[in-house]
Each structure stands twice: as C-alpha cells, then as structure tokens.
Amino acid sequence: MTFNSIPFWSFCLAVVSLYYLMPHRFRWVWLLAASYVFYGSFDIRILAVLAGLTAFVYGASRAMEGASGRARRLLLLANIGAPLLALVVFKYLSLFWQAFCALGHVLVGTRQAEPFNILVPIGISFYVFKLVSYAIDVYRRKIPAEAHVGYFALYVSYFPQILAGPIERAGDFLPQAKRPVSWKLTSISEGVRLVAWGLFKKLVVADRLAFYVGEVFLSPNYKSGHLLFGAYFYYVQIYCDFSGYSDISTGLSRMLGLAPPVNFNYPYLARSVSDFWTRWHITLSSWLRDYLFLPITYVAMRKIATDRWWGVRAEVWGYAIGTLLTMALAGLWHGAAWTFVAWGVLHGIYLVVSRTTSRARRRLGRAIRLNHAPRLQRMVRVALTFNLVSLAWILFRATSFEHAWTYLRYLQFKLPPAGMANLVFDLAIVAVLFGLEYVQRNRARLPILDRVPIELKAVGYALFVIAALAFSVDASNPFIYFRF
Amino acid sequence: MLKVPAGWPRYVRATIAFAVALVVFDRLAFVALERLSARVERTSELEQKLSGLENRAAYQWLILGTSRTFEAIHPAFISRELGVKAFKEASKGKGLRYGYEFYRLYKRLVGTPRLVVYGLDYFMFGMETEAPLMRRFGVARPEVSRATALWPPLLMAANKAANERAIERILERLQWKFASTMGQFDPDNKVRDMESYTGNPVSKVIERPEPTRFDRVSYARYPGLEGEYFTRLLQEWNADGVVVVLVYPPDYVATERTNFEHGEFMASIRQSVAGCPRCVVLDYDDPTRFPTSTPAYFRDGDYGSANSHLSKLGVEQLNRLWIPDLKRVAARFGVATFPPSRP
C-alpha cells in the first residue's frame, strides 16, 4: 500500500471518515489500529520490531523520568541504545560486515563477504529518530514522559509519517493528537489541496524525470551534456519525490486536524549550502542540529582547551568537527553505502569552507561590486549553490565511487541531438513546476488570487487535475526516501 | 460531530463547477491527444518509406517482430553472410497485428518477400500492438468512438496507459524529426541506418544470485489478444508460398527463470505451424547452445523481469549459431538465389 496507489486512498478515505464520526476518546485507538494495519501491510513481521521498540522506549522513558543521577544516565543510554542498535542490525550490519571482511581480505587474505539477506523494516530510520529524540527530550526534561501508552504508540507509528517522516517531535505531536478536533471544511480542503500538489510533484514531475535520469545514470560513459542535465534533473526529481511525499503526509494530517512541521521550503532557491540545509528535509536537519551537531561541537570545544589551535580559533575547530561528523552520519543515515557517507562528508566540507571563507567572499563581492546589485548577487549565489548541491547529488545517486567518477569524467556541456525531445519536454515540466511554486510562494503579492470566485477556482483545479492526469506517469515507482 | 459549514450553497456550486469542468476538460484533452497522435503517426510516412526504397526488388527477405528482434536479428549480417537484402520492421510495441498489417502493406508496395523471419515473443499472443502504431495503417483506437459518451467519466484515466504511450510516441516522432535534420543515427526509422545497425553495446544486466522469491510468469496463451493475427499471417504466408523462419532469440538466465514455461510456449508454436510445410522454428533460448548466463551478452533481464534483449556481444555470439542455420534453411528452400523471381 503505497501513497500513490488506489488501495491506499480507499484506506485513507475510510480512516478520515470514521475518525470524525467516532467520539474523541476512541480516535487514538482508531488511528493506532489504522497505522498498524498500514505498516503491517508491507510485511507482518516488521510489526514486531515496531511494537517491541515502542514498548521498550515507553517503559524506559517512564522509568527514566523518576530516576536521577547515574541511573538516569544509564536509562538514557539504554533508551537511545536499543533503537539505534535495531537500526544498526537491520540496516548497517551487512555494510559493516562487508567492510570488515574487505579489510581482512586486504590484510590477511580472508574471503570477501556477500551482503546479508536480511529483512529491513521499512521506515525504521525515521521512527528510530523519533524514538531517540523523544528519549533525549524526556532526559533533558523538555517534555514529560508520556503516560498514555496508546498515544505514545500512535506517535511512533502514525501512518502518514512512518515511512518517510516528517520526523515530528513528540512535544509537537502529542498535544495535538490529544486535543479534540471537529470536522472543518477548510482543514479538509487544505488537506486535499496538499495531497493533490504532492501527487502532482510525485507522479508528473519526479516519475517523469526518473526516466531521463535513469537512462543518463545507467550509462554515463557517453560523453554528453545530458550528464549535466541528468544531475540537475536528479535534484528536481528527488526534491519532488520527497517533498511530494511530505506534502501528501502533511495533507493527510491536516485532514485529521493535525498540523505537522514544514519539511521543505523551496530548497532550490537556497543562497548557500547552509541555507540549503534550512530548506531541505527540515525535520531531519533540525534533528541533526539538536541531537548530534550541538552536542558534538560542545564536546569538541571542551576538549580544545586553548583559544587557538594551529592558528585556527577553537570555535572554528568545534564547528568543523561537529559539522563533518554530523554530515557523515547524516549521509550514513540515508543508506548503507559509502557513497552516501561521501555525499554527507562533501556537504560537510561545503559547510566548513563556506564558514571559513565567508569574510573573503564578502570582500570579493565588494571588490567586484556585486554588493551593489543585490538581485544579481542573489542569482549568482542561488546558481552556485544549485550547482554545488547538484554535484553532490551525483554521489548520492551513483551506485559506487567508480560510477560517480565515470559520471564526472564524462560530463560536458555539448548536447548531442539524441534525447533532445525528452530533454525539452522535461525542461517544460520543470518550468511548470517552478512557475506554480512561484505563485504559491508569492501568494501574498498576488491578491487577485483571493478575489477569484470559488466556482472559478474549482474550474482551475479541474484543469490542473486533467493536465496532471495527462502528463503523469502510470508506472508505480516507490518513493525514493522509503528505502532510507 | 459533523456540522454543515456556513455558506454551503457556494461550496455546492463549486463542487458542481468542478465536476462539470473535469468532464469537459477530460473530453477536450482526450480529443486533442487523439488528433495530435493521429497527426504524428501518418500512414503516408510508412508508405513513403517503403515506396522510396532504393532497388526495391532486392528486398527479398522481411524481418518482423518486437524490440527483442530489433536487438537480435540484423540485416547487416544477413547481407554480409548470405548476400541477401532484408528489410527489418521490428521494434517495441509492434505485435502480431502490426506484423500482419505491415506484411500486407509491404506486399502491396515492395512485393511478396521470399522469406520472412518472425521474432517470437513469450507474450506475443497476449501483447496488444500499441495503439499509436496502428494509426499508421489507418486503424484508430476503439476508445475514440466513446469520446463523447458519458461513461467512463474520465477518458484520460480510463485510457491512461494508451495516452501515456501516445505522448511517448509523439516525443519519439519529434525526436526523430529533430534527429533527421541533425543527421543522427536512427536504425528504427532510417533504412540506411537499419541496414548498418549491428546491435547495442551497452549491457545493463546486474548479475545477482537467484532470489528465493520472485515473480514467475506463464506464457500468453493462444489466441489471447492478437493470436488471430498469427493465424492470419500463417495463412497469408502459406498462400504466398513464403518461407517462414520463426526465431526465438535467447533470454538472459534470470528472465528464463521468470518465463518458466518457455518449453510449453515453443511446443505450442511448433503445434501451430505443424501444417505449414515452409515454416521452420528455431529456438536459441537453450543454455546448452547459447550461454544464457553471461551478462555481457544481454542488454537487460533480471529475476522477475519477463523481458530481455541481446547486446551487441550477444548478437555476435548468436550469429555463430543463427547464420549457419539460416544458410541451411535458405539452401533447403532455394531462397538465397538471385535474381528475384518477381518483376
């Protein structure tokens, strides 16, 4: 049951309708049952992992709340250790075992290892991060440990979010889930609008670009400008795929009267790589900031006792260590492959270089008088960031370092006649996407849209639906982030 | 509990406007796509291609089939090894119905071929020729007549797969026009390129151990969707005295496992042509003759994937078996001798 399938939407219709028809005190039972049915539809065995981790973290957090000192710290360790151990066993053990055997092969000539054939519970990366953030927040006394096991289980398994986020914090979700909500047409229509927009991004843009990107990445050893567009289109594809999923998830939550956090904020308009990370997968980047980057940086700064080390200020060292480690782990979180780690490290390098060269870049801007033309300056920065991020996506999409290197080696600007019609068509689709997002972004500056009668808007929506139906892709491609 | 929202008549009006607009735009989009598709798939182009053949009388052999045949059987080798010119009309979506219509058109514009090579496909009876391709013969989609009917409510949804393929074909045709002006190699549409094409060197096969679970697919039973055209073709070929070589190009080992009824399919084909004295069946999907487990010999194929195509290396390997077999068939029926027997 995937988000772009008819059984899923029949399921959602039933869930939302009955949700509002039943009294508030039973709604959590209904949503929890629906979430477990939904998750179990992928493989009944993965329910055991979900239920086991939920029960463990619930119990340990309750115990931790009443404990203090060393016992409290030990409980925290267990509380975050158990979910992380499950993540490592199910997702990374095969990678680490292969790396270990490869090392043994090089050093003492042992046999190379085959990857394990292990069942990976879908969405485990996402709900493990929810559990860890909950445990740490309880430990830090930011939130109380949830007493109601049902609401806690619902927080972990909530079906619109379990497969690929957003990674919502318990402190945001639980109060909303407990608040009685009544049926509102505006919530439903807002939810439907978001779902439709998400499906457009997924089925019309992401899945269509996937053909072009797939072909280009499959045989990159043909020198051509298509490789350049392949990288750009992969950026747009993964953006539409993931943000489309987030829109659908948010839309569903809105229909249920909840307000989940925003996960994407037009990342292709980022003016720097650090700006990109405030716009891309926002719930993950804020999670990484709060639970990894800040603690790592704090520890690193404490270890560097002096103000300067090798002529560099201690805070820069702290930032660099924190950023590189966080980004490497962020890369690893995306998948059990070293190319993902390299992708994370590359982003880390971008961030560190950006921070350490900010003054020099400002001086350069002044020297070439770019600061007198702020719009041009903004465009240059957006274009530069877009290219840097696209370059990193090549590593993310490549199946191996050799694949990524071949891609980069053959990349050129000259476009051959082959594949031109598809390129132009895909560019037109991307232009439509950016155009529609421009209107969304600048709604406040377009008051005329608010004066349009609702009947005319309905006609516009009908046109949108038919256009989306005409240009959507029939093939059922799973969402890219489901595999993470 | 549920409350009726204020200003509900506006919402009702908006809902009605949405529904009406949806149906109107759906019909408009459907008709527009039909017209555009018909325009790019003109019969005249195919006629021009065949009528414009240089030294038409020399094209004594005809190759028909799907994309598997397009990648496996090449006129260049037939011409080099047997000294015979063969015209190949094989590519994705060209099922039995297309083959039948094309054969008749070929007879009319070029002449009756002396030998026809037909590339067999595990799904040939169940596969429907792509609707846009049939427009080349002036055959419109049956759905067109329903364009003004009220049911199904959304024609764009009811015909989603066909519409998508129509858009793909429009892009292909645009690409073809663009490529023609740029002199791009195009073996699917240009006769000269078709004659010099010898296979695709790229192999996309990812070698992996056989999984414990993967989809296995039964062969499409006769008559299926287009089986009647196979019968019609056999009747035409019999009546025309054409030598028919039915060839099954090899499948990658993983696809062989997926298409687990290959033996039964070939038996059904042999049974179908039992009464045809000038029909020969050649099956190269045989690991004892062709190394089907060598990934480099295939462009694609996987466990659970019911289709695979030969790579250029695979074609060279196949030629070692296929060309001598073809020579024997040609010698047996005397179809490799020239000058041609018709005006």
B29·A470 Cβ contact <8 A: yes
Residues from chain A that touch B200, judged by Cβ atoms under 8 A, are: none
pLDDT at residue number A360: 87
Per-residue confidence band for B328, with pLDDT thresholds at 50, 70 and 90: very high
Q: Could you tell me the pLDDT band of residue A82, with boundaries at 50, 70 and 90?
A: very high
The answer to whether the pTM exceeds 0.80 is no
pLDDT of residue A480: 60
> Which residues face B298 on adjacent strands?
B310
Report the CATH number at residue B128: 3.40.50.1110
Surface-to-core class of residue A97, CB atoms within 10 Å of its CB (0-12 exposed, 13-18 middle, 19+ buried): middle
Task: Please give the backbone phi and psi of residue B128, each rounded to the nearest 5 degrees, phi first.
Answer: -100, 130
| Domain residue spans of chain A | 6-178, 185-264+412-483, 269-410
| Residue of chain A whose alpha carbon sits nearest to that of B185 | A418
For residues A237 and A234, what is the distance between their CA atoms, to the nearest angstrom? 5
Instruction: Supply the pLDDT for residue B342.
Output: 43
- Asked, as a colleague might, if the bond just before A166 is cis with ω within 30 of 0, I would say yes
Of residues A89 and A431, more confidently modeled: A431
Handedness of CA A294, A296, A299, A302 (dihedral sign): negative
Cβ of B18 within 8 Å of Cβ of A469? The answer is: no
Q: Which two tokens stand for residue A321?
A: 């260590």
pLDDT value for B182: 67
Confidence (pLDDT) at A3: 67
pLDDT band at B145 (very low <50, low <70, confident <90, very high): very low
**Rounded Cα gap, residues B151 and B168, in angstroms:** 26
Sheet arrangement for strand B115-119: B85-90, B59-65, B115-119, B243-248, B279-283
Token duo for residue B65: 């089939």
Domains in chain B: how many in total? 1
Residue A334 designated active-site:
yes
**CA atoms of A469 and B162, how far apart (whole Å):** 12
**Is the confidence at residue A222, as pLDDT, over 70?**
no
Contact A458 B154 (CB under 8 A): no
Dist. CA A235–CA A210, nearest whole Å: 11
Q: What are the tens digits of pLDDT across the range A247-264?
A: 999 999 999 999 999 999
In the numeric block, the tokens 């480690």 are attached to A325
Give the residue from B163, B175, B181, B302 with the most A CB atoms within 10 Å of its CB, the best one to mutate.
B175
Whether B178 sits inside 8 A of A417 (CB atoms) is yes
Give, in degrees to the nearest 5, the angle at Cα B97 between B95 and B99.
Answer: 70
Q: Is the pLDDT of residue A479 over 70?
A: no
Q: How confident is the model at residue A484 (pLDDT cuts 50, 70, 90)?
A: low
If one compares A481 and B228, the residue with the highest pLDDT of the two is B228
pLDDT band at B143, cuts 50/70/90?
A: very low
Sort out which chain A residues have CB atoms less than 8 A from B156's CB and list them. Answer: 466, 469-470
Strands B85-90 and A312-313: unpaired
The C-alpha atoms of residue B155 and residue B143 are separated, in whole angstroms, by 8
Residue B152 preceded by cis peptide, ω within 30: yes
Q: A269-283, A367-381, B180-194: which has the highest mean pLDDT? A: A269-283
pLDDT at A4: 65
pLDDT tops 90 at residue A174: yes
Of A21, A184, A469, the CB nearest to B156: A469
Are A421 and B160 an interchain contact pair (Cβ–Cβ within 8 Å)?
no
- Is B184's CB within 8 Å of A462's CB? no
Spell out which residues of chain B touch residue A477, defining contact as CB-CB under 8 Å. Answer: none
Residue B340 reports pLDDT greater than 50? no
Q: Which amino acid is at A276?
A: F
Q: If we measure between CA atoms, which residue out of B49, B298, B325, B311 comes closest to residue B198?
A: B311
Residue B169, Cβ density class (10 Å: 0-12 exposed, 13-18 middle, ≥19 buried): buried
pLDDT at residue B343, rounded to an integer: 35
Nearest CA in chain B to A455: B14
Spell out which residues of chain A touch residue B172, defining contact as CB-CB under 8 Å. 421
> For residue B282, which of B59, B73, B106 has the smallest C-alpha distance?
B73
Kind and range of the H or E element at A107?
A: helix A93-108
Give the residue ranges of DSSP H helices in A256-373. Answer: 273-276, 282-288, 294-303, 314-334, 338-356, 358-367
Q: Which residues contact B86 (CB under 8 A, 6 or more apart)?
A: B59, B60, B61, B62, B63, B75, B78, B79, B117
pLDDT at B223 over 70: yes
* Total CB pairs under 8 A between chain A and B: 85
Please check whether residue A183 is in contact with residue A255, taking contact to mean a CB–CB distance below 8 angstroms: no
What is the rounded end-to-end Cα distance, in angstroms, of chain B?
86
CB A126 within 8 A of CB A165: yes
The answer to which of B98-102, B184-188, B308-312 has the lowest mean pLDDT is B184-188
More confident residue, A94 or B93: B93
**Residue B9 domain-assigned?**
no
Question: From CA A478, how far away is CA A160, in angstroms rounded?
Answer: 15
In a domain, B8, yes or no: no
**DSSP bridge partners of A312:** A309
Confidence of residue B289 (pLDDT cuts 50, 70, 90): very high
Residue with tokens 């029960």: A55
Q: What is the pLDDT of residues B6-50, one digit of tens each?
A: 777 888 898 899 999 999 999 999 989 888 888 877 766 788 888
The chain B residues in contact with chain A (CB within 8 A) are 1-3, 5, 10-11, 13-15, 17-19, 21-22, 25-26, 29, 33, 154, 156-157, 160-161, 163-164, 167, 171-172, 174-175, 178-179, 182, 184, 202, 204, 209
Mean pLDDT within B64-88: 94
Decide if B14 and A455 are in contact by the 8 Å CB cutoff: yes
- 10 Å CB burial of residue A429 (0-12, 13-18, 19+) is middle
CA dist., res. B256 & res. B287, Å (int): 10
| Model confidence band, residue B156 (pLDDT cutoffs 50, 70, 90) | confident
Q: Which of B21, B171, B179 sits opposite A425 (nearest CB)?
A: B171
Q: Which positions in chain B touch A474 (Cβ < 8 Å)?
A: 160-161, 164
Long-range contact pairs involving B91-94 (C-beta distance under 8 Å, separation at least 24): B91/B66, B91/B67, B91/B188, B92/B66, B92/B67, B92/B130, B93/B66, B93/B67, B93/B129, B93/B130, B93/B133, B93/B165, B94/B64, B94/B65, B94/B66, B94/B129, B94/B130, B94/B133
Q: What is the pLDDT of residue A477?
A: 62
What's the confidence (pLDDT) of residue B339? 45
> Does residue B4 belong to any structural domain of this protein?
no
Query: Which domain does B195 fall in, by range?
Result: 56-140+185-333
Residues of A in contact with B10 (CB under 8 A): 454-455
With beta carbons under 8 A apart, name residues in chain B contacting A182.
Answer: 1, 3
What local confidence, expressed as pLDDT, does residue B261 receive? 94
User: Which residue type occupies A295?
Assistant: P
Residue A334 to residue A343: CA distance in whole angstroms? 10
Q: CA of B129 to nearest chain A CA: how many angstroms apart? A: 18
Of A110-114, B222-226, B316-320, minimum mean pLDDT range: A110-114
Helix intervals (H) in chain B = 8-40, 43-51, 67-72, 75-82, 96-109, 131-134, 155-158, 160-182, 191-196, 227-240, 253-258, 262-272, 312-333
Say which range, A52-56, A137-141, A327-331, A414-418, has the weakest mean pLDDT.
A414-418
pLDDT band, very low/low/confident/very high, at A344 (cuts 50, 70, 90) = very high
* Three-state secondary structure call for residue A308: strand
Residue-wise over B172-185: b if at least 16 C-beta within 10 A, else e?
bbbbbebbeeeebe
| Minimum-distance CB partner of B17 among A182, A184, A455 | A455
B254 found inside a domain: yes
- Nearest chain B residue to A185 by CA distance is B5
Which of the 8 DSSP states describes residue A411? Answer: B
Residue indicated by tokens 């179990």: A40
Contact A185 B11 (CB under 8 A): yes
Average pLDDT over residues A204-222: 85
In the set A226, A334, A347, A403, the catalytic residue is A334
The percent of residues in chain A predicted with pLDDT above 70, rounded, is 95
Mean pLDDT for A345-369 is 89
Host H or E run for residue B281: strand B279-283
Mutate to test the interface with B, among A212, A414, A459 (most CBs of B within 10 A): A459
